Structure 1
Amino acid sequence: MPPANHPAPQLAHSAHSLQSLNHAQGACCCGSPLLQRFHDRMMAEISRRHFLGGTAAVMALFAGVRAPEAIGARPRGQDGPLLLTHLRLFDGSGTPLRENVAIRVEDGRIQAILPGDAEAEGAELIDCGGRVLMPGLIDAHWHTTLAGITQVAAMTADAGYVHLLAASEAERTLMRGVTSVRDVGGPAFALKRAIDEGIVAGPRIFPAGAMISQTSGHGDFRLRHEVPRGATTPLSEQERQGVAAIADGEAEVLRRTREQLMLGATQIKLMAGGGVASTYDPLDSTQFTERELRAAVEAAEDWGTYAMVHVYTPRGIQRALRAGVRSIEHGQLADEESVRMMAGEGAWWSLQPFLQDEDSNVYPDAARREAQRQVAEGTVRAYEMAQRFDVKTAWGTDILFNPQNTPNQLRHLAKLTRFYDPLTVLAMATGRNAELLSLSGPRNPYPGTLGRIEPGALADLLVVDGDPSQNLDFLADPERHLRLIMKGGRLHKDSL
């Protein structure tokens, strides 16, 4: 297998032969019919293939047995404490940098914040040379299995290759300094387990599991010939494999929500409106009744966690908020009344910089281009209103089916300096996003403080060449400018 930080030969060949196709990220396209065909193929094969180099590796992923060697680069081991000295500190709060600080790390956590020239006292010393130390970044809208593969490759590659590619992309995600992600739909449970057990390297994953959708909703990937569904019709392949769950009526929504909680979902994802790339559900459609949404919200609350919704329009946003939803994903078409309601309810607005720019999809038809234009214009208004009405705002990317764009993940963050000062942007991608993750309460698989540098917090840390108090230009080249990457006290990169 090629090194984890290089594209596989098959992928390179596919990219070369399909260079005329633009698979760039833009507004959410998880309603694409190609998504269905991808999962039909991938998940149908996964049930009958061993794909990690043999039975031992497969058992390591799915039966809890550690494989003899992990996939990808292993982090550098430490048997004792570390002391990072002579650094400037961004602590994740958005306040100005602190000068000449040292950080002591022990047992995967930050033990103390000390003067910059503190004595090692038994710790391994790493001199940061006056560089900036900051918390690991958090992407609040990420599709772990779907980000790093093209639609065509997903449709034609072996299932094992698809999953190995997802694991490889997870390592690249970590090496971009993204140490935690909130997965907002798809079968990410196995990859999360493999990362947590040290079989592969990758970020902490907060999985939502299957996207819950009404019939004809944004998560209904069936083709026309599969409709209507009879009382005894079997579930579609994407439903059986946990990509999406179609539910109509309060009882079905309740059942599907409870199933995701049983599988380990840290939060619940529902589709409450249409999308730009959708084949069936138009952008302006409103999905699920308030009673149906409330059934999912109450089930999540009974488990100490929350529900989020994919939605763009004021009507859908307001319906979701009345039902008790805690996080609005996208929402670029919100009006002032909707934004005031978000602020009043204390809900989160999980926004992505969909700006119809070089990172956006290119659509062949005028109708979708017009919908994309509406979302792009709405994005500018959304960031302005989020600040004016003091709505709790999260950052995410929603990169989907786009290996060409995943290396630019941090560019999506740097774009936000158009709307905020650089330290506020970094605070959004660290401490603020961590507050959103904490809504999962007792379902949080990583107990401890994320996104902040303070005593007792989990030691997810980056040392960077750059001055975030001035700009975020260093994010454009993480390979060069991220000099140290630590997750849970383990060094995944140290070029100091």
Structure 2
Amino acid sequence: MPALPHAFKLHPFSHHHAHGACQCGSPLLSRFHERMMADVSRRQFIGGMAGVMAMFAALHAPSVLSQQPKDDNRPILLKNLRLFDGSGGPLRDGVAIRIEGGRIQALQTNGADAGDAEVIDCGGRVVMPGLIDAHWHTTLAGISQLEAMTADPGYVHLVAAKEAERTLMRGVTSVRDVGGPSFALKRAIDKGIVDGPRIFPAGAMISQTSGHGDFRMRHEVPRGTASPLSEQEKQGVAVIADGEAEVLRRTREQLMLGASQIKLMAGGGVASTYDPLDSTQFTERELRAAVEAADDWGTYVAVHVYTSKGIQRSLRAGVKSIEHGQLADEESVRMMAGEGAWWSLQPFLQDEDSNVYPDAARRESQRMVAEGTVRAYELAQRFDVKTAWGTDILFSPQNTHNQLRHLTKLTRFYDSLTTLAMATGRNGELLAMSGPRNPYQGKLGTLEPEALADLLVVDGNPEQGLEFLNDPNTNLRLIMKGGRVHKNTL
């Protein structure tokens, strides 16, 4: 473990006395020191060095934090704009947006008195909610799989922090993280230590042995009752659970760490080493154990799955969010609609953004999923399934800058305002399903009174198309999260 900064070292046996007798060598203080150092080690495994440093964020030690400028608490009035409110309805003119305390305080007429507010003239541009990616891997998107498996945890988390800043600068102000150790980074963002989107974390992906989250090497099998956890389990990327009791334990552990929803692997994948695309994972009883544990905490379970068999088994167990599902048949989609479940789809179209596989078997699986993607969007609309937009960029640092291109592709299946509503208001409804586990109290994805002030001012007209999102660096003129301006080139 890297040495802690000097200001953070603990010296239980040094003799810096306060008033009264020295207690430095007392059993009580010794036990405190042991627990503190154990927590340091545990946090470093879970969250990298960022997790360790977060322990000391409240201490009054000199740091770059004290040098950062404080936010201006004045109200803000955005005027001279066209409003897209996240609902999918037409743009509205003659509206001004008053922001106070990190929330939208009111929608006013354009000529309303600004009072003491700072006025931002939007120059007739469109103002829209910040974008929400409903299937993102905060810690794993911007790093290669080889680096994720071999690099120092601290390096992995530093890369993730930089990618989080880039994500926010692409106008994505919230993400639903569906697998990986994002708890420490979330805390750092929320405390203002680094910039990034709001994170709704699932924590470690829960997988059966040989499932889509079993990243062990062949030489690590079999695992005995006393065998150590794999490195990926230690780092919080994924955990292996077999049987209802283990699924319960691993689900409860993620809830303990702060998961806003739970992620299970209920089927195979395209890039999988061991589990073929058509495999079904976890029994219905195992899935239900996770669902019941999540429900006891007021939240829900999402599952990675492609096939109809896996989808139907998951729905019978009470799962509320199907991630991927491109191989669903009509019966499965009817079942999703009937159960009120969400379909978290991604535009996997075997195009320039697709992963490149050297072997024919995985290329064939990729082709099947791409064909299923086109059918899936048609079925989702035909049966009126609640559909979310996400990207699932994973171990692809070369592709993260194209995150929004995965949104503009949807205009092949939907009109542009419906597409934009999916990535704002609709995804905001999905985030709200975390109930009391929602880490951010307030509406997201919408511009209405009392909603959190996450918004973008853009050069572009979403009534005519979304191509402007393909170049966020140029066309996003203002980015605001929680009333704080992170970019302003107006």
Pair in the same fold by TM > 0.5: yes
Matches within 5 A, 1:12-411: 46-47=44-45, 59-65=52-58, 68-70=63-65, 77-154=71-148, 157-411=151-405
- Superposed CA offset, 1:52-102 (max 9, x none): 7xxxxx75423443772259x978822210000010000000000001211
Q: Could you tell me the percent identity over the aligned residues?
A: 78
Decide whether the 8 Å contact of 1:85 with 1:118 is kept in 2: no
Helix, strand or coil at the partner of 1:206: strand
Q: Deviations over 1:156-176 (max 9, x none)?
A: 644332211110110010010
Secondary structure, in 3 states, of the residue corresponding to 2:81? Answer: strand
Q: Which runs of 5+ in 1 are unaligned?
A: 1-42, 53-57
Q: CA separation of 1:321/1:465 partners in 2, compared to 1, >3 Å: closer, same or farther? A: same
- Report Cα offsets for 1:327-365 as digits up to 9, x if no partner: 000000000000000000000000000000000011111
| 1:48 Cα deviation after fit | 12
TM-aligned CA distance change 1:169 to 1:478, over 3 Å: same
SS in 1 for 2:192: coil
Aligned to 2:429: 435
Letter in 2 for 1:457: A
Match of 2:32 in 1: none
Shift of 1:227: 1.0
| Partner Cα separation in structure 2 for residue 109 and residue 194 of structure 1 | 21
- Residues 47 and 485 (structure 1 numbering): CA distance in 2 closer, same or farther, change over 3 Å? same
Give distance in 1, aligned partners of 2:146 and 2:278. Answer: 29
Contact 2:208 2:281 (C-alpha < 8 Å) held by counterparts: yes
Tell me the SS of whatever aligns to 1:258: helix
Note closer, same or farther for the CA distance 1:230–1:218 as it changes in structure 2 (3 Å cut). Answer: same
Residues 417, 462 of structure 2: 8 Å contact kept: yes
> What TM-score results when the alignment is normalised by the length of structure 1?
0.87
Partner of 1:17: none
| Cα distance in 2 between the residues matched to 1:383 and 1:328 | 14
Contact 2:45 2:235 in 1 (8 A): no
Aligned-pair CA distance for 1:472: 0.2
Q: CA separation in 2, counterparts of 1:399 and 1:143?
A: 7
Distance verdict in 2 for CA 1:311–1:479, change over 3 Å? same
Q: Relative CO higher for 1 or 2, CA cutoff 8 Å, sep ≥ 6?
A: 1
* Secondary structure, aligned partner of 1:312: strand
Q: Structure 1 residues 50 and 244 mapped into 2: Cα distance closer, same or farther (>3 Å)?
A: closer
Moved more, 175-184 or 77-86: 77-86
Q: Pick which of 310-319 and 254-263 moved more.
A: 254-263
Query: Does the aligned pair in 1 maintain the 2:82–2:94 contact within 8 Å?
Result: yes
Distance, in Å, in 1 between the alignment partners of 2:447 and 2:460 is: 18
* Structure 1 equivalent of residue 12 of structure 2: none
Asked if structure 1 preserves the Cα contact closer than 8 Å seen for 2:207 and 2:265, the reply is yes
| Aligned-residue RMSD, C-alpha | 2.1
Distance in structure 1 (CA, Å) of the matches to 2:69 and 2:117:
18
Deviation at 1:192, TM superposition (A): 0.3
